[in-house]
Amino acid sequence: MEKVFRQIKILSIGKMICSIGISLLLLGVINTTFISFSTHDLSFFIYPLSWAILCLTVVLSFLKFFIRRKKCFQFVVADLLVIILLGYWLLRYDFDLQLANWKLFLFGELCILWFSIRMLLECNLISVEKISWVLLSTGIIQSVWGILQLYGFCESNHSKFDITGSFFNPGPYSGYIAIMVPVSLYLFLSTKCMKRYVALFFLAVLLCILPAGMSRSAWIGAIVSSVIVLFWQNNWIKYWYLKRKLSVLCLVVSVVGIAVGSYLMFNLKKDSAYGRLFIWKNTVCAIWKKPVFGYGSCMFPVAYAQEQTDRFRSGKYTATEERVAGNPEYAFNEYLQILVEGGCLLLFGVVVIVAYALSGGIKRRDYGLCGGLISLLIFAFSSYPFQYPAFCVVAVIIVASLSTKRTIGVGNNVYGHCVLVFLVAASIFLLFLQDAPKGVIEKLDKCRYLRSTDALEVAEKGYAMLYPDLKHNADFVYEYGLCLSQQKKYLESNELLRRSMLLRCNYQCYNALGGNSQQQQNYEQAEKYYYDAIYLLPNRIYSYYRLFLLYAQPEFYQPDKLKQMAKIVLTKRPKVYSKAIEEMRGEVKVILKEHGLNLSN
């Protein structure tokens, strides 16, 4: 008997060590997406993420083959949907343009992570509660990071904001914190003893830093998801039937509170709200033209730029819309972005997977992860979380956990072994295809330095070497195009500038194309490009200034248009006032004086 107890004790200790080890591995997978790089390029996160996922799959394979051989893997509906959605995204991706090859690696790694999480849970190698603690730990890491930035102990990743965490602005940072609030709240409500106090402390830390991010979307996500968790956990539906009058009163008060709160939050950053509404308006118009299949994977910048240009060219816009217009990289609404790129089919598949996960989570009373997923879904209505690998990884972990049934010993063990072999092989293959970002960053910094010192030929060679690795980066492609333009290689420069416009909605690309045409003395083409820049973003004075200089050219001198552009440059209210505006206006006055022109005439 004593021997049996000893064996049981050894097994329990081994199981605990195994669970802790897997939890740490999972923590490492998420934390790889927090690594800071000197150059803002989301593709750099994929390489460390690939290493972490490879380690996870290798450990999982070892445990499955040698320790938990009898535990079987069972395919569920969500697994098939994930494979179908990945296949659909690949079919809609333009492999000739190759606008975002790094996303191929990201989605491949996310697919591997999905099946790894599913297998970990089905084989009882980790529990949903431990996954919740792992996720919450990453939220605490971000919270402490933000607090240190707020008090000046760490540098922010954005010069204009004090708090960014590992992200590049406070919006995504606050959204990440908001996901962890309902998770922490549920752990506080459902656990006992020391765990309960730890969860309460973590919740307090999260709530301390959340308001500082000034993200209304994150606040709404945290509040709504927390209320839903309380509703589920405390079975408030029962109180609704027992105390109908009190419940109706609470509902009325809540509706009034939501209305007042919405009004106050809208006016907190009014221009920001109007800007997003304008982005959504253009995005919906673009969706209406191709609602079923969309424009193709990663084609949002192209579709949006065309729609915004058409709107301003037609003159059907308000003064407010002109003032708040910008160069958005994303739709600031993930559902609209999905519709633009993949159409109704892709969005329908995503909705089905999320609904499947939530229904399973509610049945199994995994309210913490359900709350975290709801918070993420709410945040995604007015932000761009899924453009960051960190949010994608967290979303996959949550949805995979909620989609996993807790049935043990059901299914075909051969399938499980085949899946594991495939996961390890795929992890190795994806890692083998990638380059370490450190070398790329060092070479890019060197190219930028050489270009700044006018060593253009050497810089061009460096840009050419980096192009295969960074052709998805709009800033890099734009810089490369300008470098060629400075060497009077206008045709090659134009090709790169046009590619940059496919990668990002950027009016400066049109200005650069206009400059190239002007240098080639193709003045009519230059005029067209400058007007394209104006119609894309009419609130920027620089495009009008370039047109003014074009009309001042002796070979293309047009005094009436010159005066028209001069008046706009001198009187138009800039979106952001800077010293450059002052210098442009000073130069305009000098040129007008040289030509003997008077705007008062």
Find how far residue 424's CA is from the centre of its chain: 27
Give the tens place of pLDDT for each residue, 220-246.
Answer: 999 999 888 988 877 666 665 556 666
pTM: 0.91
CB 436 within 8 A of CB 47: yes
Cβ-based neighbours of 379, under 8 Å, separated by 6 or more: 175, 178, 179, 217, 218, 220, 221, 385
Q: What is residue 264's predicted lDDT score, i.e. its pLDDT? A: 65
Q: What is residue 478's predicted lDDT score, i.e. its pLDDT? A: 92
Q: Which domains does the chain have, with CATH numbers?
A: 2-432 (no CATH), 435-539 (1.25.40.10), 542-601 (no CATH)
Return the structure tokens found at 316: 């059907």
Return the structure tokens found at 507: 């009016």
Flag residues of the chain having pLDDT under 50: 409-411
Q: What is residue 399's predicted lDDT score, i.e. its pLDDT? A: 95
Find how far residue 589's CA is from the centre of its chain: 44
Dump the DSSP string for 73-101: ----HHHHHHHHHHHHHHHTS-TTT-S-H
Q: How far is 402 from 400, CA to CA, in rounded Å?
A: 6
Nearest to 463 by CA among 452, 474, 479, 439: 479
Give the tens place of pLDDT for each residue, 285-331.
Answer: 999 999 999 898 889 999 999 999 999 998 888 888 888 888 888 98
CB 109 within 8 A of CB 49: yes
- Measured N-to-C along each axis, helices 490-503 and 474-486 cross at an angle, to the nearest 10 degrees, of 160
Q: How far is 355 from 586, CA to CA, in rounded Å?
A: 60
Q: What is residue 216's predicted lDDT score, i.e. its pLDDT? A: 86
Q: What is residue 390's predicted lDDT score, i.e. its pLDDT? A: 93
Q: What is residue 261's predicted lDDT score, i.e. its pLDDT? A: 63
Cβ-based neighbours of 338, under 8 Å, separated by 6 or more: 346, 347, 350
* Percent of residues, the chain, with pLDDT higher than 70: 88
